[in-house]
Amino acid sequence: MSDDVRAGLEGVTVAETSLSRVDGEAGELVVGGYPVEELAGNATYEEVVFLLLEGRLPTADELDSFRADLAARREIGEEVRNVLRRAADEGLPAMDALRMGVAAANLGGETGDERETASRVIAVVPTVVATYWRYREGLAPVDPRPELGHAANYLFMLTGEQPTERAVRGLESYLVTVVDHGLNASTFTARTVVSTESDVVSGATAAVGALKGPLHGGAPGPVLDMLREIHERGDPGTYVRETLEGGERLMGFGHRVYRVRDPRAAVLSEAAEQFYAGSGQAEFFETVERFERVAVKALAEHKPDRPLETNVEFYTAPLLWGVGVPPELFTATFAVSRVGGWTAHCLEQLADNRIVRPVATYTGPTGRTWTPVEER
Ligand code: ACO
């Protein structure tokens, strides 16, 4: 590959943002000016989304009205439910259903105001995911409850039961921690789409497609399978060795930007530890921590020149599983949070826009002459 090509746009700066800053060398993440650890320990999801959309934390009155506004936009129409039922009946993955649901987010309420559309998209994502899941389970969808917060309402719509405070706290920490993360692949996708002066719904729909892949948001499902297998077999060393010797990647490790442990892994490991303590499943969490130690050591020996540390997805898996999110919905639950970041980035891009249009080095043939079809 020629020297002037930056494969995967690695290290290329293409925008200014005031939303979040990722320091890969120091292992720091700042969201809206606050270290992620500070937010995860204190904020609700609604507060962090307000912070991203407005650039500051809400007052108590502003928070009340923002929560009420989001809650009032949660419902989805019968047409969207039908599409989700069909997706569930055909066994399509949750992310395919979510892509269709988000694409329909401007049905019945489009005002042309992109800030309002952002709220609508953020509000409907949990409803779309939960509705799809209820159909997948052969159950009737559960209507959203306006008096519940974003995290609690999502769990309620999944199960039809009032979630425990512990589960809500665990999910809230997760939603706050992963809401925004610089120009990751899905966020860049969303910004690229709106840079053509397209709209927030189109940006978010494309972002769902980008998040789906295993190199981005699709890792925590395989991470959980791996952890459950190790918990049963009790031998992380053999699993890690066989995976690496087989030329495969260990899911939940490595990152494009971080050269040290992902700070979100630290936040989520603490949240998961708190959740599992006294849950009756503390032994499973011990397996998770033991696996991390073994894997990090083996990866350092496997690739001495490339730091491969724990990423956010590693602790996402046990935390989401613990609070009751089914593994099939892990990536879609990532979207439940990240849609806050996607939409804020879309609005930031639109406020000071230049169409995204990089160039490629052409490596194909040149100078060919046309051969009529009957002579080929
Ligand atoms: N296990 C084993 N080896 C790895 C891993 C891993 N998890 N990650 C990277 N490597 C190796 C690669 O094989 C490569 O080796 P090579 O030079 O011999 O080919 C080297 O380290 C560099 O890897 P790249 O693919 O160049 O790293 P890149 O920055 O492109 O990829 C990524 C980062 C996609 C996260 C990668 O580390 C990976 O695939 N991890 C596993 C999947 C995962 O956990 N995804 C979630 C990421 S977090 C998120 O998106 C929210």
- Digit-coded pLDDT (tens) for 10-52: 989 999 999 999 999 999 999 999 999 999 989 999 999 999 9
Question: Which H, E and C letters describe 266-298, residue by residue?
Answer: HHHHHHHHHHHCCCCCHHHHHHHHHHHHHHHHH
- For the domain spanning 220-323, the CATH number is 1.10.230.10
Q: Which atom of ligand 1 is nearest to the CA of 314?
A: 44
User: Average pLDDT in the 94-108 region?
Assistant: 93
Query: In percent, how much of the chain has pLDDT > 90?
Result: 91
Q: Which atom of ligand 1 is nearest to the CA of 253?
A: 7
pLDDT tens per residue across span 136-152:
999 999 999 999 999 99
Band of residue 6 on the pLDDT scale cut at 50, 70, 90 = very high
31-215+328-351 is classed CATH 1.10.580.10: yes
pLDDT tens per residue across span 282-329:
999 999 999 999 999 999 999 999 999 999 999 999 999 999 999 999
Both structure tokens of 49: 């989304």
User: Average pLDDT in the 244-270 region?
Assistant: 95
Ligand 1, atom 26, lies closest to the CA of 256
Q: CATH 1.10.580.10 residue ranges in the chain?
A: 31-215+328-351
Whether pLDDT at 132 is above 80: yes
39 lines ligand 1 (CB under 6 A): no
Chain-wide mean pLDDT for the chain? 95
Active site positions, annotated:
255, 313
142 lines ligand 1 (CB under 6 A): no
Count of CB atoms within 10 A of residue 141's CB? 18
Q: CATH 1.10.230.10 residue ranges in the chain?
A: 220-323
Strands 34-35 and 20-23: unpaired
> How much is the pLDDT for 145?
97
Residue 20 CA to ligand 1 centre (angstroms) = 23
Residue 203 CA to ligand 1 centre (angstroms) = 26
Whether pLDDT at 369 is above 90: yes
User: Average pLDDT in the 212-236 region?
Assistant: 90
